[in-house]
Structure 1
Amino acid sequence: MYTIQDVSKKTGLTAHTLRYYEKEGLITGVERSQGGIRQYTDEDLERLGLIRCLKNTGMSIQEIARFVQLTHEGDHTLEERVELLREHRERVLERMAEMQEHLDKVTWKLNFFSEKLRAYQEKEAKKAK
């Protein structure tokens, strides 16, 4: 069992974010001690890892909550979960392609200006002689 501080250290998520995820239904069924302290399991950590992955790749909190809800509803929702993940994957791939285009342009500009800088420095070095 892990405390909220333990989970925060392991996942990089703040205690506030963990409480928010619980409130929004992204993480459910977190046990509590007799004193009311949250007690996370390895399974909870695994779920949080998936939540972080989905969020970091642009899935909305509402979509993640829907995915979690479907998971709790059982295997009869597998088709819908697969479709939700398939659509998300396509959006991620589209963003990656867009980012690759941006990276290519930045790289081209970097090379362009680096070459101009090299030529300028050579010209200035010749002047100094």
Structure 2
Amino acid sequence: MTISEVSKKYELSADTLRYYERIGLIPPVNRNKSGIRIFTEKDCEWVNFIKCMRSAGLSIETLIEYVTMFQQGNETIKARKELLIEQRNQLSKRIEDMQQTLERLNSKIDGYEDKVIEKEKTLKSNN
């Protein structure tokens, strides 16, 4: 796949894909004779993984750390797992906070019109 095809498929800009390659989040992508990047299935798996992890809130720095450990081989399996567990815990906390915010918004919205009408009646009767 070309960079434009990968860009469309994963909804990432070509600049973002180039950046990810430049900083080592995805392995160097092979190029054809014209110098055009040709993404393999394996390259696309990396793009998908990085996109998923970014969506989960992982920083570029954390992902660089993970990829660096991955490249070091099996001796980093435990450290990689611990990093992912830590990130999962942080994501769970953010989800919990967002759930509380959603519940508060839902509470505010429920019966909103009735509450506004009641408040307006009170204000009109004070005039």
For Structure 1 versus Structure 2, the TM-score category normalised by the shorter chain is 0.7 to 0.9
Let me know the Cα RMSD of the aligned residues: 1.7
Task: Please give the residue correspondences for 1:1-129 in structure 2 after superposition, counting only pairs within 5 Å.
Answer: 2-117=1-116
Task: Give how far 1:117 is off.
Answer: 4.8
What percent of counterpart residues are identical? 38
How far apart, CA to CA, are the structure 1 residues paired with 2:107 and 2:23?
44
Helix, strand or coil: the match of 1:114?
Answer: helix
How far apart, CA to CA, are the structure 2 residues paired with 1:21 and 1:59?
14
Helix, strand or coil: the match of 2:93?
Answer: helix
Q: TM-score, normalised by structure 2?
A: 0.88
How far apart, CA to CA, are the structure 1 residues paired with 2:52 and 2:113?
36
Residue 8 of structure 1 aligns with an amino acid whose one-letter code is S
Task: Give how far 1:32 is off.
Answer: 1.0
In the TM superposition, what whole-angstrom CA distance separates every residue of 1:74-103 from its partner, at most 9, and x where no partner exists?
A: 111100110010000000000000000000
How far apart, CA to CA, are the structure 2 residues paired with 1:23 and 1:29?
8
How far apart, CA to CA, are the structure 1 residues paired with 2:70 and 2:96?
30
Larger mean Cα displacement after TM superposition, 85-94 or 109-118: 109-118
Helix, strand or coil: the match of 2:110?
Answer: helix
Residue 57 of structure 1 aligns with an amino acid whose one-letter code is A
Unaligned runs of 5+ in 1: 124-129
Report the count of equivalent residues.
121
Unaligned runs of 5+ in 2: 122-127
Q: Identify the residue that residue 127 of structure 1 maps to in structure 2.
A: none
Residue 97 of structure 1 aligns with an amino acid whose one-letter code is E
